Structure 1
């Protein structure tokens, strides 16, 4: 009888300030729908989903962190054993500028080989865009992190983003 291999598990932690739609990205991936109601994450929420790929099945553990300042002291314990850290922002100057501090915090807590991905959400808000895609790509390159765009409301790039996150870690 062939032994059953353990399902590979990957922990992905989502970070940034409050009201950046980290939860929307995660819930759209898990449930394949967008929830219009806003629910602030208190502390941390953890969801998992099995992803079926061409040649393997993997389990993604998705950690949705609260963006409130009072929860910041818990962040080091959340990210310590993560496979990938995802820094989410919307194309406003404030949330984009704050990504640098989050990336620095992750690198302080973890080794330099941690995979960090900068993800822009709410790409549909073109009229409110204060940060160009070129600026975001340049920042990602300067900080040696990956860059992706999503729109949880429309479902744009959500599944692709999670597949890419897995493949970033696996290769």
Structure 2
């Protein structure tokens, strides 16, 4: 007697998650490593240690009806490592450009980091502007309105986070996973950046990010 045939639904070749390279950029001490640590391990280390060169971590996300494997590349913010950065941007799908909301210069520097990304990847990349250290809102040097205006002008995503408090960190990476191009059912890539609207917040609380419908 013939053994029963394997049902077509048992094709496990479809289960292999897509790998997406995400590179984190920004000046020294804005919290790039802390964001990754919070996302990966739900931990925060108060001891600051500068990233030397490039670090790499990977995490699989399960969001809605899709599985996405994010390759997170943590880059050094020090000027002496700047020459290494373009080679890591070159094949990235997502660039997270981080600044410290209490350090205005780090916000001004994001323009250069974004220019570097566009020089290497053109429009074939999703760019997210992230204002970190939102738990220190009383020391704020960059307003939400100013950062929102910049993201709108550049047609990129924007969100404020606190790696220390764990606020909006999961939301950041979830929004990225849901916005990745080429994951829709008909296989058509949509590289349009989606702005994340962050509304007025209190010093001790950062609201969940929501997608802007504008």
| TM-score category of the 2 structures, normalised to the smaller one | over 0.9
What TM-score, normalized by structure 2, do the two folds share?
A: 0.77
What TM-score, normalized by structure 1, do the two folds share?
A: 0.95
Cα distance in 2, alignment partners of residues 54 and 63 from structure 1:
24
| 2:36 aligned residue | 26
Deviation (angstroms), 1:39: 1.4
Structure 2 residue runs without a partner (length 5+): 1-5, 182-189, 191-214
Deviation (angstroms), 1:4: 1.6
Superposed CA offset, 1:126-162 (max 9, x none): 2211110000000111112110111000000111110
Higher Cα radius of gyration: 2
Deviation (angstroms), 1:27: 0.5
Q: CA RMSD in A?
A: 1.2
- Name which structure has the greater RCO, CA cutoff 8 Å, separation 6+: 1
1:82 and 2:92 are equivalent in the alignment: yes
| 1:128 aligned residue | 139
1:104 is matched with which residue: 103, 108, 115?
115
Query: Conserved in 1, the CA contact under 8 Å of 2:129 and 2:151?
Result: yes
Structure 1 residue runs without a partner (length 5+): none
Deviation (angstroms), 1:3: 4.2
| 1:139-150 paired onto structure 2 within 5 Å | 139-150=150-161
Superposed CA offset, 1:16-66 (max 9, x none): 111111000001000011111111100000001111222122211000000
1:53 and 2:63 are equivalent in the alignment: yes
- Structure 1 runs, 4 residues or longer, greater than 6 Å off: none
